[in-house]
Amino acid sequence: MKKLRDRVAALLDEGAVSLVIGYEEGTKRPRPLFCRNSESSGKLIFDSRCFHNLAVYVTKKELVGKERFAVTAPISTLRSILQLYVENQLSEEKLLVLTVDLNGELREFVTFEEISAYVAQFEMKRGEREQEILSKIEGMTREERWKFWMGEMSHCFKCYACRSACPLCYCTKCVVEVNRPQWINPWPSPISNMEWHVNRAMHMVGRCTACGACGDACPVGIPIDLITRKMMEDLAPEFGYIPGQPAKQGNALSSWKLDDREQFIR
């Protein structure tokens, strides 16, 4: 931790970066910290409790401004940063990525390839919460799944906290705000909630890095992060990507293979 603080202080003093996004000790658990001068870098912490995805701030122009900035990134943030690179939302000159690797060494990355090589060591596994709920869902029949999700969806009141927590939801105007035509009804009826979450999952095909930010953000605790996680796991063999390790070539949905599976097509 000490090496990290000194490095950040040095970076800020030299003016190499105008901002460093990291974690500081919060009331119950770590919360994001935005250091703009070396004094505040003293509050920086970086341990296993810091896993919330900071990548969601990286695309906010009004926060990071035009100068170069840095972020201390746990594995979830690194994966999202890779996906944001693939989608032309970040430039390698503007962002410096700091992290502390498994044996406590301070690591700095600039290019996509560096981060990609580092991320490749981490395999995306389900935590027990995910395993427990998903195995329950996987055991259900279609009707039971429908009832389960309709029950869950009835709690949703369209606060869109999931959208604002997700680093890959950086659209200036979301499809739900399109009213000509009104694709997704704004009122929180179960069917329009279901439409919203199906649409969100479809927008995440080949992109979601299962960081769980949306699940954490949901005020009524709907396990919506499991929808995108399960989708990513199921589609990985189909589309030939490795969940959590975005590749340079285009999005899974905007590319295709000659031998894509098609026995469901008559």
CA neighbours closer than 13 Å in the CB half-sphere of residue 20: 34
Residue 18 interacts with other proteins (CB under 8 A)? no
Q: Which is nearer to other proteins, 102 or 258 (CB)?
A: 258
* Least distance CB 243 / other proteins (angstroms): 13
* Helix 75-86 × helix 112-119 angle, to 10°: 140
103's CB contacts (< 8 A; 6+ apart) are none
Distance from C-alpha of 89 to C-alpha of 236, rounded to nearest angstrom: 23
Among 36, 148, 158, 163, binds other proteins (CB under 8 A): 148
Q: Which stretch binds other proteins (CB under 8 A): 9-17, 86-94, 106-114, 121-129?
A: 86-94
Going by C-alpha positions, the residue among 188, 189, 214 that lies closest to residue 200 is 214
Cis before 181 (ω within 30):
yes
Is the distance from CB of 96 to CB of 70 less than 8 angstroms? yes
Reading the block at residue 143, the tokens are: 């009707």
CA neighbours closer than 13 Å in the CB half-sphere of residue 81: 32
Distance from C-alpha of 41 to C-alpha of 59, rounded to nearest angstrom: 22
Reading the block at residue 86, the tokens are: 């693939």
How many residues sit in the footprint of other proteins (CB under 8 A)? 63
Q: Which stretch binds other proteins (CB under 8 A): 25-33, 36-44, 111-119, 201-209?
A: 201-209
The CA-to-CA distance between both ends of the chain, in Å, stands at: 59
Q: Which stretch binds other proteins (CB under 8 A): 28-36, 113-121, 156-164, 173-181?
A: 173-181
Residue 67 interacts with other proteins (CB under 8 A)? no
Site of tokens 């680093």: 167
Residue 214 interacts with other proteins (CB under 8 A)? no
Residue 133 interacts with other proteins (CB under 8 A)? no
Q: Which is nearer to other proteins, 9 or 162 (CB)?
A: 162
Among 1, 63, 159, 178, binds other proteins (CB under 8 A): 178
Among 70, 162, 227, 241, binds other proteins (CB under 8 A): 227
Residue 63 interacts with other proteins (CB under 8 A)? no
**Three-class SS of residue 76?**
helix
* Least distance CB 58 / other proteins (angstroms): 14
- Biggest CA-to-CA distance, the chain: 66
Residue 147 interacts with other proteins (CB under 8 A)? yes
- Binding-site string for other proteins from residue 237 to residue 266, where x marks contact by CB under 8 A and - marks none: -xx---------xxxxxxxxxx-xxx-xxx
Binding site for other proteins (CB under 8 A): 87-89, 137, 140, 142-151, 154, 170-175, 178, 180-181, 183-184, 187, 189-191, 194-195, 197-199, 201-203, 205, 227, 230-231, 234-235, 238-239, 249-258, 260-262, 264-266
